[in-house]
Structure formats: structure tokens, C-alpha cells
């Protein structure tokens, strides 16, 4: 009951880590959007495993097939189904954990909730499910691009290593030039080495992904519950391993008095209203105000590590979960396109919802 997202631009994802495949049905995408298959594939490639030695060595081409909703290169307004078949299933790797509850995974909670679970690679709870989001998000990005909206995420922190510069001080076009997806090349190299060290220890580490959206017109977002930042927060928190979300001034906004935190309005030379500062993060009253939208998403260390861990099995007996197989020592580099995809899905939906604001 929770595998759909969106009110108008709406997606339904499906699939398990080691089943036949994963995929998504997108309903509510307007007719007439250019369906650029190469772009969608390139987004999936940004997310796929095995990109460098600091990501999992699982091998998946992550090639998608379109089943419906596209005709002569354009969306037709009917549902668009995309499927990505699983290749590197290696189910045997998981037989030893069939009855075990891996610490800080979803094994235990799925078992209690459903009474049954596909234990192979985490089944539905695997981060593999996010490939379907990236495919759908890529289409949302294509639609948003036609509206002048661009989304750029990047890694700003790995463990204790934190980029202190704001996004304005960075050259975000550098992001894709390194395996960590940190736009500061020096920091990127340090992060890479740090993650590689973690990997060698068979351990894992978390991080923070920042995201900046430019070009959103004022008016997107729906008060009072579906505030733009509330949906962005939900969308980010729905990504595996996410523990926190903040936008604009965020948790640090607590520290400032209102007289410093308030963003003064002014009219620029072209007659457009802007704010002098942007503690609001581009959103006021839950509605975009035309300034840059920016937010930060915190990822915990992934639960799969190459070390033995104490746990229990389905019968309540003590069990030692052994560290074998493949793992991502740090998930944030691959999380960058996922953050962007979810952001695109949120914005695409609000763009369409906003069409009904006025008569």
C-alpha cells in the first residue's frame, strides 16, 4: 500500500532485488513530452552498481525496456511502463541468511508485517528498487527541462569529512567528474580515499547529499499538508538509508533571530520580486517563491558490512550474521541521481497540480 507516489504525475514501482526484474508505471505524464531514451539510460547508468571500486561490485547493466505509453518518440498521455530485468541475481549468496534477521535491515520488520518475505538480497527492501525511481525521475526531468527547471545534487559530506562551502561557492558542473560526486575535486579525492579505507575494513559509512533546484517558478506546492518542502522531505526520507532532511536554513535556522532570518523582498530592475537572502530555501508557506530551492539529506552507513554481527533468527535463536557478498561501503555517490530523481518527481507533480490553482 505504499508503492505509489504522486497525485497527478504518479508512479507505481514494483520488483525485488532477486526476482525477475523491477520497474515502474508512470501515470499522468502529459502527452507531448519528448521521450529521450538515451537520457533515461544515462540516468540509470549514473545509479547502477559497479561504477568504481568504492561502490558495490554487483554487476547490473540496468537496461530498461519501454512497454507502453510512447509513440513516435513522444509520450501519449497514457501510462508509461518501464521494466529493468535483473541479471546478476546470484540467489545462492543469500541462502545462508534465509532465516536470519540482518541487523538494521528490514528483514525482521517485513517478517512481522507480512508473515513472509523474499529474503534474497533484501527482496523489495533492497535499494535496487530505486532504479525504478531513477527511470521515472528521468522522464520527470525531461518534462521539467522543457519548463526551464534544472536539478543538481552532489555529495557534501562523508562521515566526518564535510564540505564547508555553500552551493554558490562551488562549481557544480564538476560533480560528475569524480567517483564520489563531490564538486570540490580536492575534497572528492580525500573522500574517495576515506571511503576506500572503510571498504578495506569491510565497514560502511554515511554521508550527506545536497540538492539545488534552479528555475522553479513561484507557485508550486500545495498548502497545508502538501507543502513543497514537506513532499520533498517525504520523498527524500523514502530513499533507503535516509535519516534526516532539512531545507533552506534547516536545523541551523534555529539559531538565528527572526530579524536576521527573515528574507527581505525587493524588486529587481526587470520588475521581478526577489529576496535579498534565501534562508527560506526558495519556499514560503509551502509554495515556491522563485528563488533557488536547496536542501540536504542525511544517509546512514549502509547496514550490509563485511564483518560478523550478532543477531537472531526467525525462531528467536542467537545467530551470527556473516559478512560476505558485495556491499556499498558508502551509498552517497550512487544516491546523487536518486535524490535528483525523487526531486524531479515531486516537482513534476506540483507543476501539474498548480494548473488547477486558478479558474
Annotated binding site: 47, 53, 124-126, 240-241, 285, 300-304, 326
Q: Does 171 bind its own copies (CB under 8 A)?
A: no
The count of chain residues that interact with its own copies, using the rule CB under 8 A, is 151
Q: Does 304 bind its own copies (CB under 8 A)?
A: yes
Q: Does 264 bind its own copies (CB under 8 A)?
A: yes
Q: Does 41 bind its own copies (CB under 8 A)?
A: no
Q: What's the closest the beta carbon of residue 144 comes to its own copies, in angstroms?
A: 11
Near its own copies by CB under 8 A: residue from 38, 164, 186, 318: 318
Q: Which is nearer to its own copies, 20 or 193 (CB)?
A: 20
Q: Does 98 bind its own copies (CB under 8 A)?
A: no
Q: Does 269 bind its own copies (CB under 8 A)?
A: no
Near its own copies by CB under 8 A: residue from 246, 337, 339, 344: 246
Which residues on adjacent β-strands are paired with residue 158?
161, 207
Q: Which is nearer to its own copies, 145 or 172 (CB)?
A: 145
Question: Are the CB atoms for 195 and 201 separated by under 8 Å?
Answer: no
**Which residues have CB under 8 Å from 90's CB, separation 6+?**
18
Per the listing, cell 533571530 goes with: 257
Q: What's the closest the beta carbon of residue 340 comes to its own copies, in angstroms?
A: 17
Q: Which is nearer to its own copies, 101 or 184 (CB)?
A: 101
CA 342 – CA 346 distance, rounded (Å): 6
Dihedral over alpha carbons 299, 167, 143, 10 (to 10 degrees): 30
The residue among 165, 317, 343 whose CA lies nearest residue 237 is 343
Q: What's the closest the beta carbon of residue 172 comes to its own copies, in angstroms?
A: 21
Max CA separation in the chain (angstroms): 71
* Length reported for the chain: 359
User: What is the C-alpha end-to-end distance of the chain, expressed in Å?
Assistant: 34
Q: Does 10 bind its own copies (CB under 8 A)?
A: yes
Per the listing, cell 527492501 goes with: 125
* 152: phi then psi, degrees, rounded to nearest 5: -135, 120
Question: Are the CB atoms for 159 and 302 separated by under 8 Å?
Answer: no
Q: Does 114 bind its own copies (CB under 8 A)?
A: yes
Near its own copies by CB under 8 A: residue from 61, 145, 172, 218: 218
Q: Does 191 bind its own copies (CB under 8 A)?
A: no
Q: What's the closest the beta carbon of residue 45 comes to its own copies, in angstroms?
A: 22
Q: Which is nearer to its own copies, 173 or 206 (CB)?
A: 206
Q: Provide the CA 225 distance to its chain's centre, in angstroms.
A: 22
Annotated binding site for NADP(+): 47, 53
Q: Does 38 bind its own copies (CB under 8 A)?
A: no
Q: What's the closest the beta carbon of residue 173 comes to its own copies, in angstroms?
A: 25
Near its own copies by CB under 8 A: residue from 38, 164, 186, 224: 224
Question: Are the CB atoms for 23 and 132 separated by under 8 Å?
Answer: yes
CA 61 – CA 44 distance, rounded (Å): 9
Q: Does 27 bind its own copies (CB under 8 A)?
A: yes
Annotated binding site for FMN: 124-126, 240-241, 285, 300-304, 326
CA 107 – CA 124 distance, rounded (Å): 10
Q: Does 234 bind its own copies (CB under 8 A)?
A: yes
Q: How far is CA 27 from CA 3, 76, 351, in A?
A: 13, 11, 15
Measured from the Cβ of residue 164, the count of other Cβ atoms closer than 10 Å reads 9
Q: Does 52 bind its own copies (CB under 8 A)?
A: no
Q: Does 317 bind its own copies (CB under 8 A)?
A: yes
Near its own copies by CB under 8 A: residue from 131, 136, 188, 230: 230
Amino acid at each position: 500500500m505504499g508503492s505509489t507516489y504522486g497525485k497527478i504525475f504518479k508512479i507505481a514501482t514494483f520488483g525485488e532485488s532477486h526476482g525477475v526484474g523491477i520497474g515502474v508505471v508512470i501515470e499522468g505524464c502529459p502527452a507531448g513530452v519528448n521521450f529521450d531514451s538515451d537520457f533515461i539510460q544515462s540516468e540509470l547508468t549514473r545509479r547502477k552498481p559497479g561504477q568504481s571500486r568504492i561502490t558495490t561490485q554487483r554487476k547490473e547493466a540496468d537496461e530498461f525496456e519501454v512497454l507502453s505509453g510512447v509513440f513516435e518518440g513522444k509520450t501519449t498521455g497514457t501510462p508509461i511502463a518501464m521494466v529493468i530485468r535483473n541479471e546478476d541475481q546470484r540467489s545462492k549468496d543469500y541462502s545462508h541468511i534465509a532465516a536470519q534477521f540482518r541487523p538494521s535491515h528490514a528483514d525482521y520488520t517485513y517478517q512481522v508485517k507480512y508473515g513472509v518475505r523474499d529474503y534474497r538480497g533484501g527482496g523489495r527492501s533492497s535499494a535496487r528498487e530505486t532504479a525504478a525511481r531513477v527511470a521515472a525521475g528521468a522522464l520527470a526531468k525531461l518534462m521539467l527541462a522543457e519548463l526551464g527547471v534544472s536539478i543538481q545534487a552532489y555529495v557534501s559530506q562523508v562521515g566526518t569529512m564535510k564540505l564547508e562551502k555553500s552551493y554558490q561557492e562551488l562549481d557544480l558542473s564538476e560533480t560528475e567528474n569524480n567517483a564520489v560526486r563531490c564538486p570540490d575535486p580536492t575534497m572528492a579525492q580525500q573522500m574517495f580515499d576515506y571511503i576506500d579505507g572503510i571498504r578495506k575494513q569491510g565497514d560502511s559509512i554515511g554521508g550527506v547529499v545536497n540538492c539545488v533546484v534552479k528555475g522553479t517558478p513561484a507557485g508550486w506546492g500545495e498548502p497545508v499538508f502538501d507543502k513543497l518542502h514537506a513532499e520533498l522531505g517525504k520523498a527524500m526520507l523514502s530513499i533507503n538509508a535516509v535519516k534526516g532532511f532539512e531545507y533552506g536554513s534547516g536545523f541551523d535556522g534555529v539559531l538565528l533571530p527572526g530579524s536576521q532570518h527573515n528574507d527581505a523582498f525587493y524588486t529587481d530592475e526587470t520588475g521581478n520580486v526577489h529576496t535579498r537572502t534565501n534562508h527560506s530555501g526558495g519556499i514560503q508557506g509551502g509554495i515556491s517563491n522563485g528563488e533557488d530551492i536547496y536542501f540536504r539529506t542525511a544517509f546512514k552507513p549502509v547496514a550490509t558490512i563485511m564483518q560478523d554481527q550478532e543477531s537472531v533468527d526467525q525462531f528467536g535463536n542467537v545467530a551470527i550474521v556473516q559478512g560476505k557478498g558485495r556491499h556499498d561501503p558508502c551509498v552517497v555517490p550512487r544516491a546523487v541521481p536518486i535524490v535528483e530523481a525523487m526531486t524531479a518527481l515531486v516537482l513534476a507533480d506540483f507543476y501539474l497540480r498548480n494548473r488547477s490553482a486558478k479558474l
